[in-house]
């Protein structure tokens, strides 16, 4: 699905710029979301036009389908190490901490992005913040543990709700068969500590805070890109 939002040109600029870092022979982590869509698209163009040989490890069914559309060969973490992973974010702060999971794919994204030799984040300007917290932290949970986990999150000061599907009845179901709880904290003073604390709750599979993982941030604008 093409991105028709008002900042689609900024997203496209970021995604296309990240594809310039792809080299022949690389194994790529293919993130999820509207900005990463453009990265996968440009990699597919380079395969067709330049004849580069790469393989991709998708982080979701969405990125798998886009990669297949662009004839990017698919592999797995069982078979290959990752040279470069490119992914979007819902928020990125001045210390390169992220909140991810708006697409409910953050568990596989964190596994793939953590495994990569280099991790590049691509965002438009609206996603850059001074400190995290405007966006809820997505927490993937085992369905049977959802009530208990919600109580634990509320005890930590979060306002919580189970994410509901838009075009089906009931909760969003992740690619792993789990629920997502969106936990809104008034402020996140230490993303690294909160990431650990959330994952210590029994029943939590993974949360959407990514701390101390990012090598480069590419910020797309309508006029081009900026790199941090």
Distance CA 2, CA 184 (A): 29
Catalytic residue (one of 41, 50, 78, 109): 109
Beta strands 55-58 and 179-184 are unpaired
Maximum Cα–Cα distance across the chain: 54
- Reply yes or no on whether 195 is catalytic: no
Q: In what order do the strands lie in the sheet with 209-210?
A: 91-92, 98-99, 209-210
Classify strands 159-162 and 179-184 as parallel, antiparallel or unpaired.
antiparallel
Distance CA 222, CA 224 (A): 6
Q: Phi and psi (nearest 5°) for 140?
A: -80, 130
> DSSP string spanning 140-207?
EE-GGGHHHHHHHHHHTT-EEEEPBPSSSSSB---TTS-EEEEEE-S--S-HHHHHHHHHTSTTEEEE
Q: Is 120 helix (H, G, I), strand (E, B) or coil?
A: strand
> Alpha-carbon distance 39 to 1, whole Å?
14
* Beta carbons within 10 angstroms of residue 224's beta carbon: 11
The answer to whether 67 touches 122, Cβ cutoff 8 Å, is no
Which residues are annotated as catalytic? Answer: 109
């Amino acid at each position: 699905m093409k991105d028709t939002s008002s900042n689609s040109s900024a997203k496209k600029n970021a995604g296309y710029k990240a594809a310039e870092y792809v080299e022949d022979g690389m194994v790529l982590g293919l993130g999820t979301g509207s900005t990463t869509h453009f990265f996968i698209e440009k990699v597919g163009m380079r395969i067709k036009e330049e004849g580069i040989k790469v393989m991709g490890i998708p982080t979701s069914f969405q990125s798998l389908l886009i990669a297949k559309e662009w004839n990017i060969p698919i592999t797995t973490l069982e078979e290959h190490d990752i040279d470069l992973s490119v992914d979007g974010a819902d928020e990125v702060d001045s210390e390169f901490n992220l909140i991810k999971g708006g697409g409910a794919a953050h568990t596989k994204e964190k596994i793939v992005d953590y495994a990569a030799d280099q991790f590049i984040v691509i965002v438009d300007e609206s996603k850059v913040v001074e400190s995290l917290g405007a966006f809820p932290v997505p927490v993937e949970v085992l369905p049977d543990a959802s009530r208990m986990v919600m109580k634990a999150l509320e005890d930590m000061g979060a306002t919580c709700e189970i994410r509901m599907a838009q075009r089906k009845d009931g909760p969003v179901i992740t690619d792993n068969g789990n629920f997502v709880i969106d936990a809104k904290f008034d402020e996140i003073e230490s993303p690294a500590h909160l990431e650990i604390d959330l994952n210590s709750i029994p029943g939590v599979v993974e949360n959407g805070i990514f701390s101390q993982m990012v090598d480069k941030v590419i910020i797309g604008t309508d006029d081009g890109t900026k790199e941090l």
